[in-house]
Structure 1
Amino acid sequence: MSQVFAPSCANNQAPILAVLQHALADRTHVLEIGSGTGQHSVYFAPRLPHLVWQTSDLPQHHASIQAWHAAEPAPNLRAPLVLEIGGATAWPQTDDGPFDAVFTSNTLHIMGWPQVQQLLALVGQQLPPGGVLAVYGPFNYGGRYTSDSNRAFDASLRARDAASGLRDQEAVVALAQQQGLLLRDDHAMPANNRTLVFEKHA
């Protein structure tokens, strides 16, 4: 299988990198949950050389991730692991040691709410104190859409899968806080997206 190309990944990489360069400045090992096409990993890893960048996703996405890795290798980039939120797979263990950061992009609105709850519970359980979680994607605020395009996107998501849809930022922040993950920054991003940065407290 050849590399799958998602235009949205190419469009948002530079703004996300600017956030991650600050948020992950003192981290060493990041788990990317939902690596998708693999584009983000080959862009971020060489530009964050102090990190080991571990990809993960469902098995059907691994071929594209591996194809991107073969085309654009980096010494700190790791092949994808199988990780299914809400499935039977356990939290990944690697030879590089435990993760002190997690990054996930455009996943919370694809998952059902129970999977969002499990993702945040797992991250809260597994990250050490000081660990960082960065979440990129569209969110509602105060129960309202931030743009007409987000409203239309939410409708398309729910038409395909009624369990999916844009999440309320406040609900995600409250759920994260229950797991010891406190909101540190909320960055406005292009195309009506956000990057939420959480820090694990003891």
Structure 2
Amino acid sequence: MSSTPATSSVPSATGKLAGKRCVVTAAAQGIGLATVEAFLREGAALVVAVDINQEKLNQLASQSRVACRVLDVSDGAGIRALAKEFLDINVLFNCAGIVTNQTFLETTEEEWDKDFDVNVKSMFHTIQAFLPQMLSSGDGGSIINMGSVASTLRGIPRCSLYGATKAAVIGLTKGVARDYIRQRIRCNVVCPSPVATPSYNVKKQNYQDSDMVSALG
């Protein structure tokens, strides 16, 4: 009697990142952590894992080909120092972001500024820091920015601020892509719907309202 082998949910590695040096922000959990693991499976020579959470980042510290750095992505000087420490970067994944769940009129100016600093200005810092390396290499490079369906794609209740930041990310991505396409720089944005990450699960109760559930679904 024959049996069907179990199918793994993890895609087979193809070595497409063999020899590449990568930077991943928000690397200690969720999408960022999964990306670090995927980059390693694909043969990356080095993954620089950046996060503000030292405790969670420690789980990656023992991995070979991983360099962990505790850093706030809104710290421009810190990002520039990181780029001086790690040269010849080929891939940059801007994953860091925060979500403020409230209506537009509940949003304060301080929250507006903070969310734009983390979700958008941080990408300004990282791209400005690492793009020159990619250009000088002559081999091009890849920049991936984390967007969201809560952007120019659709409106999500209690996410007007978050949606505004992610719409800005889409505009930034398209602009960088057009500026440097002839120098073999690829700049793309991924726009997922809500993903069951630790940060999302903490805020999950905000999505229990029936109108919000239908909007998200």
Measured against the shorter chain, the TM-score band is 0.5 to 0.7
Give the C-alpha shift of residue 174 in structure 1.
1.0
Other structure's SS at 1:126 match? helix
In structure 1, stretches of 5+ residues that fail to align are 1-12, 159-163, 194-202
Higher relative contact order by CA 8 Å / sep ≥ 6: 1 or 2? 1
Pairs within 5 Å for 1:64-83: 64-66=56-58, 68-69=59-60, 73-82=62-71
Other structure's SS at 1:134 match? strand
Residue equivalent to 2:174 = 173
Among candidates 141, 154, 157, match of residue 159 of structure 2 = 154
Give the C-alpha shift of residue 83 in structure 1.
5.5
Residue equivalent to 2:205 = none
- For 2:174, the aligned partner's letter is V
Q: Deviations over 1:135-161 (max 9, x none)?
A: 233167xxx64234xx23632648xxx
With over 3 angstroms needed to count, the CA separation of the structure-2 counterparts of 1:33 and 1:172, relative to structure 1, is same
Higher helix share: 2
Larger-gyration structure (1/2): 2
Other structure's SS at 1:191 match? coil
Give the C-alpha shift of residue 56 in structure 1.
1.5
Aligned partners of 1:53, 1:179: CA distance in 2, in Å? 24
Give the C-alpha shift of residue 65 in structure 1.
1.0
Q: Report sequence identity in percent.
A: 9
TM-score for both structures, normalised by structure 2: 0.53
CA contact (8 A) 1:30 1:99 kept: yes
Aligned partners of 1:131, 1:30: CA distance in 2, in Å? 10
TM-score for both structures, normalised by structure 1: 0.56
Other structure's SS at 2:157 match? helix
With over 3 angstroms needed to count, the CA separation of the structure-2 counterparts of 1:123 and 1:189, relative to structure 1, is same
Aligned partners of 1:114, 1:187: CA distance in 2, in Å? 15
Q: Deviations over 1:149-179 (max 9, x none)?
A: xx23632648xxxxx7222423431145446
- For 2:97, the aligned partner's letter is T
Pairs within 5 Å for 1:84-123: 84-89=73-78, 90-92=80-82, 93-94=84-85, 97-107=87-97, 110-112=115-117, 113-123=120-130
CA contact (8 A) 1:42 1:69 kept: no
Aligned residues: 161
- For 1:105, the aligned partner's letter is C
CA root-mean-square deviation: 4.1
CA contact (8 A) 1:39 1:65 kept: no
Q: Deviations over 1:32-67 (max 9, x none)?
A: 123243633653254123431111133xx122111x
